[in-house]
Amino acid sequence: MSSGGFIVNTTAPTAASFALTKLFKLAELVSADANSLHGALPSQARLEQVDVQLTLTAGGPPTQAKVMLYWDSAGDDPMAGPSAYFALTAALTTANLYVGTANLGRVRPRAPAGQTASGTCYAAVLVDAGTVTVTRVRLHWSDPRDGE
């Protein structure tokens, strides 16, 4: 049986077109999503995908995004990425909400000594148009010891 989980953003920063956001923390956060329970990122994990929800606040709607992951809160210790641009689409029921998923190719980074906090990482989002608020980012992981 495969074990895994996800970590989710703890703040909702702003991303402007063609500019990386301030870094924001991804962590186990049951108050944001009850299913993140037991989702703390292990020191060795297989990264599966990143789900994003972005709310348009100004300008034209974004059609694509990239995600960059870091081990540290300063953005000096890369973890994975930047992802290739992935398509965004309008959400089905919420106005100005754009959603998409980046496949990370099942990379298997190991937490370095420079990791800011155990069980967490940091992310930045780049969009191709408009200004958005990062509503939700989920980093899905699985235990590489469980096999493929």
Alpha-carbon span 53 to 27, nearest angstrom:
16
Judge if pTM exceeds 0.95.
no
pLDDT at site 16: 61
pLDDT at site 53: 96
| The one-letter amino acid at 113 | A
pLDDT at site 119: 92
Location of structure tokens 């998409």: 100
- CATH number assigned to the domain comprising residue 23: 2.60.120
pLDDT at site 1: 38
In a domain, 148, yes or no: no
pLDDT at site 98: 97
pLDDT tens digit at each of 148 positions of the chain = 347 888 988 888 876 655 565 788 999 876 766 666 567 888 888 999 999 999 999 999 999 999 999 999 988 999 998 888 999 999 999 999 999 999 998 889 999 998 999 999 999 999 999 989 999 999 999 877 766 5
Question: If we measure between CA atoms, which residue out of 1, 10, 33, 20 comes closest to residue 119?
Answer: 10
Alpha carbon distances (Å) from 94 to 29, 42, 45: 23, 33, 33
- CA–chain centroid gap for 57, Å, is 20
**Count, residues in the chain:** 148
pLDDT at site 34: 67
- CA–chain centroid gap for 99, Å, is 12
* The two three-digit tokens of residue 114, written as one number: 């420079």
Query: 135: domain range?
Result: 4-143
Alpha-carbon span 103 to 81, nearest angstrom:
11
Question: How many domains are there within the chain?
Answer: 1
Alpha-carbon span 102 to 147, nearest angstrom:
22
Alpha-carbon span 78 to 58, nearest angstrom:
30
